Structure 1
């Protein structure tokens, strides 16, 4: 396969594009009798004290958190992408058009997640709080070197590919509206991850070896920050579950926190950090591999103990 190009991505993006009307057609029909996320993204079976119905409640709470975490990510992805577009305003027209389309689609995804969150709030029986403020977390990400931010962007977009292809696509048990949201998100992100690779290649070429290594370390620091944010979300999920279902015992709460922290690490950290495309991009353009990346992968893998096989 030859080297990717903005022209090729533009053609594929045009075929993959969808409308908000298409994506939100099932909002009124969300089925709160069904799970919203596949078991491979929730790991409810690791909590043996939950009944079958309680595992559905957990899946729905995790589904809502999924929407809000990705909506948070869009708050640093969108300004990063639009800055890249602005930097080529007077350059290659196809690059500019592809990056402008990238930004427009990210804004559309954020709107989609917001609409699903609103529909969730109307149908679920209690408020599900989420970490934040999202704007503050995103602003902290954007303080880092542009190359580190680019790595964080690629991380989130590649892991969303794994979430659909390896978990949601073949799961017939989850709500169809939520499954369609994941499918449509995946469909446009297929082009975004290709754009990420081209952006990272260009940015890395502009940086010294020291800057590239520093960017990798900043990215890893961001993963540690993310792990802390996810620990907070585990507790918020627990509080929402107890409001909706029943109080847990102290032992059950301890198991919840341990197992759900492992699950969050797997879903939001390991599946991006260990993605084959992510690693090959770093190897090709950053002068890697880097020992710190491998160490972080081992650390989060031992924490997550994923149900997915290693890549």
Structure 2
């Protein structure tokens, strides 16, 4: 056990507050700084777009693919933070007359999530000013938020913790080291990562706190909720991947064969499943925490629900590497 893991919950909440105060940033002053997107740069790195599975794309088409996926990447986080902020307001009420350090940490989390929503709204406007017309982000944000918020707190916090851990991994392992990315887009996720690092800690603390309240029956029901949430995420990814593939094909500047079009559509969906589901559930920090909270039959049930998505994605990667 390392020093951070050995800290008491109150110490971890306090450390999140200290870091939040120290790294606090402003959208205009620190992130956008009057800039626009330079479309000569990629938005997302190849490790996230998995564009290498489409070797028939030229350099310009690979860049457009990264821009389309990057635009959706920002919009997906805007959608997620819609329900995360609402849930944290609810969670914060549990601390209102109790641990005031925990209350401040959760309220700072909520305020920062509202700021992130505004940042991603601004990014969508900037992307729309320079990218070709016709892009659509299809998931209905409020309807999705209402669906998610109808599930158990345990399941929502599990999903949220997974997403916020994986955003850190995506930035540190893929974005931070790629100098070919749009400086503005890269800065968006640099500053986003700085605050999400604290949010993931608070997610973990609140998830553990909620888990301590559950008996085996309630935890089984929570697992069912989490399975439903993952299935709903996959449904949204299928919807958006289809729209994004069509947008890419319409704006790539040339005609693709039927086989190439099919590979673009399949590749878009596989990349999205990797970004939002597979890379999350396979992330060691998250999987270790999840495994510590559930028993073997519950783990097998969750694994069985994920297997079709994970296996299809991994099989597609292997086929495209042959």
| Partner SS, residue 36 of structure 1 | coil
- In 1, the alpha carbon distance for the partners of 2:220 and 2:259 equals 43
Tell whether 2:145 aligns with 1:138: yes
Describe the shift of the 1:23–1:62 C-alpha distance in structure 2 as closer, same or farther (beyond 3 A): farther
| Counterpart selection for 2:19 from 7, 12, 15 | 12
Q: CA deviation at 1:286?
A: 4.0
| Partner SS, residue 290 of structure 1 | helix
Tell whether 2:169 aligns with 1:151: no
Cα contact 1:204–1:286 (8 A) shared by 2: no
- The TM-score, its normalising length taken from structure 1, stands at 0.93
- In 2, the alpha carbon distance for the partners of 1:186 and 1:27 equals 21
Counterpart in the other structure of 1:295: 304
| Partner SS, residue 30 of structure 1 | coil
- In 2, the alpha carbon distance for the partners of 1:27 and 1:41 equals 27
Consecutive unaligned residues of structure 2, counting only runs of 5 or more, are: 318-322
Pairwise mapping of residues 242-281 of structure 1 onto structure 2 (< 5 A)? 242-246=249-253, 247-281=255-289
Pairwise mapping of residues 108-257 of structure 1 onto structure 2 (< 5 A)? 108-246=115-253, 247-257=255-265
Cα contact 1:209–1:287 (8 A) shared by 2: no
- The TM-score, its normalising length taken from structure 2, stands at 0.90
Cα contact 2:78–2:117 (8 A) shared by 1: yes
- In 2, the alpha carbon distance for the partners of 1:292 and 1:151 equals 16
- In 2, the alpha carbon distance for the partners of 1:27 and 1:147 equals 41
Consecutive unaligned residues of structure 1, counting only runs of 5 or more, are: none
Cα contact 1:126–1:244 (8 A) shared by 2: no
Cα contact 1:27–1:177 (8 A) shared by 2: no
- In 2, the alpha carbon distance for the partners of 1:35 and 1:14 equals 32
Describe the shift of the 1:131–1:89 C-alpha distance in structure 2 as closer, same or farther (beyond 3 A): same
Query: Superposition RMSD on alpha carbons, in Å?
Result: 1.9
- In 2, the alpha carbon distance for the partners of 1:292 and 1:165 equals 31
1:210-247 alpha-carbon deviations (Å, 9 max, x no partner): 21122122112211111111111111112211332234
| Counterpart selection for 2:42 from 16, 25, 35 | 35
Q: CA deviation at 1:82?
A: 0.7
1:108-162 alpha-carbon deviations (Å, 9 max, x no partner): 1111111111100111122311122111112111111111111111121111111
Cα contact 1:27–1:116 (8 A) shared by 2: no
- In 2, the alpha carbon distance for the partners of 1:303 and 1:96 equals 42
